Amino acid sequence: MTRQEAEDLIFASYMRALPYLSYELPDSRKRHPEYTEGIIRRLYRGTCSIAVTGSKGKGSAAYILSRILSLCGKTGLMTGPHIESFNERFRAGDEPISDREFTDIMSGLYPSFEAIPTDPLKGEFISPIGLETALAEVFFAESHTDFDIYEHGKGVRYDDVKNVPASYALINTIFLEHTRELGSTVEAIARDKACIIRPGMKGVCAGWQSDEVSRIIKDRASELGVPLKMAGRDFDVRDIVFHEDGMSCTVDTGRRSYRELWISLMGTPQCRNLALALAAAEDIAGEDFLASCEDMTRLRTVLKGLKWFGRLTVLRRRPFALVDCCINRGSVFAALEVLDGLHIKRARVILAIPDDKDYQGVAKAVSLAGYDIVLSRIENPHYRFSGIQQKELEKAGISFTYEEDMEAAVRQADCPLVILGTAAMLPLIRKIQTEGGFDER
C-alpha cells in the first residue's frame, strides 16, 4: 500500500456514498458515529485522553495544550485540517506520523471498517473522522504517549471522535457557524458541542462564551456532575501586549499567576487559548505541575517555540503580512485587532471565503475599519466560489476590487497585507512563503 492509497482508504466509504447525499442535510441525518464506536472503544488503552471543541481556536488550544503537557510526558495530538500533508493531523511529541507508520496502521485497521455493513445507495458511510480517530489511537499506542489530545470536527454530537472515552475536555469559544450542519441558532450549536461533556469526566475547561452558551455548558456539566472551570470566573488573562512577532500576557488560574508569558503566536485569541490550556493542564497534570523554577523556565522556552501556521500567523514584518483562517464576522475582529495593536492604519485585506460562509459579514467589518478589500478565490472542488459574492457586496455598498488569481494578488501587494479565508488556502500561502514571496522588503 502506498501513502496515497492509505489516505484514499480513509475517504473511500464517504466517496461511495457522496453521490447519494444531499448537501442540505444536517449532521443528524447523515452522520453515524455509532458505526465506529465498537472499534474505537476496543482500541482505547486507558491513557489520559483530552477532547477539544469550539467554533474558533480549538486546534490552536489543542496544540498549545500538547506542548505544555510535553513538559510532563509524551503527548499525542490529532487535529485537522492539514496544510501540506495529511500526516500533519497526527503527531506524537512534536513529530507527525511517518508515511511508513501511516500505511502500516491503515493496512491493519481498514479490514475491520470495511466489514461494517453500510449502504452507500442510502447515503450510509463510515466517517473519515472515525478512521482518523482509530488511526490516531493506534499511532499513539505505538508511540507510547502519556497524554492523547483529540480535536473534534465542526460538531460533537455526531462526530466519531466522541467515541474516545476522554477524561477531560476543553470547550473554546462557541458562536454561530456551520448552521447547515449543526443548527440555525447559537443555542443549537452550543447544545451540540456541549455533548463533549460526558458522564464520568474528571474535568472540563470552557473558554470565553456568550451568556446563552455559558448557561448551556454550565447546565450540561451540572446535570452530569462534571467539575467545570469557566474563563473569566475561574481563570483569566490580562496585561496583553502586541509585538511584531508575538504576544506577551499574564495568566491567572486561581492556583497560580503566570506572569509576563511570551508566545510566538499573534492575537488576543491566542493569549486566551494559552490561558485555557494552562488552566486545563493544571488539572490534567496534577499538583506537581510546574512545581519548580526550572519547570517554569522550560515552560517559557516551549511557549517561545510555538508554531501553528494559518492562525493569525505573521508572514512578514516589513511590510507587515498576516494570514488567518477566518470565514465569519465573529473571528475577523481578532485580525483587525492585530492591525490596531501594531498601529497599522493602511492595509490591503484579501478575502478567499467560500460562498456558503460569512464573506459579507467579514467584508463589512473590514470595510468599516477602513481597509482596502480584494475579493479572490481558490481552486478547490469542495468549496464554491461564484459571481454571487461580487453581486452581494455591490448590493451592500461595500467597495472592493476583484482578483481571480489569488497568488498574483498576494505577490503583488506592496503594503501591509492581511489574508483571510478558508483553511484550504493555506497550502498556497505556504507555497508562496517557501518560494520567498514573503521576504522582508
CATH number of the domain enclosing 24: 3.40.1190.10
Q: Which pLDDT does position 184 carry in this prediction?
A: 85
Say if residue 9 is in the same domain as residue 62.
Answer: yes
Q: Which pLDDT does position 182 carry in this prediction?
A: 86
Q: Is residue 439 part of a domain?
A: no
Q: Is residue 12 part of a domain?
A: yes
Say if residue 268 is in the same domain as residue 179.
Answer: yes
Residue-wise DSSP of 29-72: GT--THHHHHHHHHH----EEEEEE-SSSHHHHHHHHHHHHTTT
Say if residue 202 is in the same domain as residue 148.
Answer: yes
Q: Grid coordinates representing 23?
A: 448537501
Q: Which pLDDT does position 340 carry in this prediction?
A: 94
Say if residue 288 is in the same domain as residue 352.
Answer: no
Say if residue 13 is in the same domain as residue 158.
Answer: yes
Say if residue 168 is in the same domain as residue 256.
Answer: yes
Q: What is the mean pLDDT of residues 292-318?
A: 93
- Last residue in a domain, options 243, 270, 304: 304
- Last residue in a domain, options 284, 304, 324: 304
Question: How many structural domains is the chain composed of?
Answer: 2
Whether the per-residue pLDDT at 172 is higher than 90: the answer is yes
Q: How far apart are the C-alpha atoms of 368 and 365, rounded to whole Å? A: 5
Say if residue 150 is in the same domain as residue 28.
Answer: yes
- Last residue in a domain, options 269, 304, 339: 304
Q: Which pLDDT does position 6 carry in this prediction?
A: 96
CATH number, domain containing residue 342? 3.90.190.20
Q: Which pLDDT does position 59 carry in this prediction?
A: 93
Whether the per-residue pLDDT at 241 is higher than 90: the answer is yes
Q: What's the chain's average pLDDT?
A: 94
Q: What is the mean pLDDT of residues 259-282?
A: 96
Say if residue 241 is in the same domain as residue 319.
Answer: no
Alpha carbons within 13 A on the beta-carbon side of 15: 7
Q: Could you read off the pLDDT of 34-49 as tens digits, one per residue?
A: 999 999 999 999 999 9
Say if residue 247 is in the same domain as residue 378.
Answer: no
Asked if 3 and 103 touch (Cβ cutoff 8 Å), the reply is yes
Q: Is residue 243 part of a domain?
A: yes
Whether the per-residue pLDDT at 81 is higher than 80: the answer is yes
Q: Which pLDDT does position 438 carry in this prediction?
A: 93
The range of the structural domain enclosing residue 168 comes to 3-304
Q: What is the mean pLDDT of residues 98-116?
A: 97
Q: Could you read off the pLDDT of 176-199 as tens digits, one per residue?
A: 777 778 888 999 999 999 999 999
Say if residue 68 is in the same domain as residue 193.
Answer: yes
Say if residue 296 is in the same domain as residue 358.
Answer: no
Q: How far apart are the C-alpha atoms of 110 and 128, rounded to whole Å? A: 11
Q: What is the mean pLDDT of residues 251-264?
A: 95
pTM: 0.91
Q: Could you read off the pLDDT of 359-414 as tens digits, one per residue?
A: 999 999 999 999 999 999 998 877 889 889 999 999 999 999 999 999 999 998 88
Q: Which pLDDT does position 357 carry in this prediction?
A: 86
Say if residue 260 is in the same domain as residue 386.
Answer: no
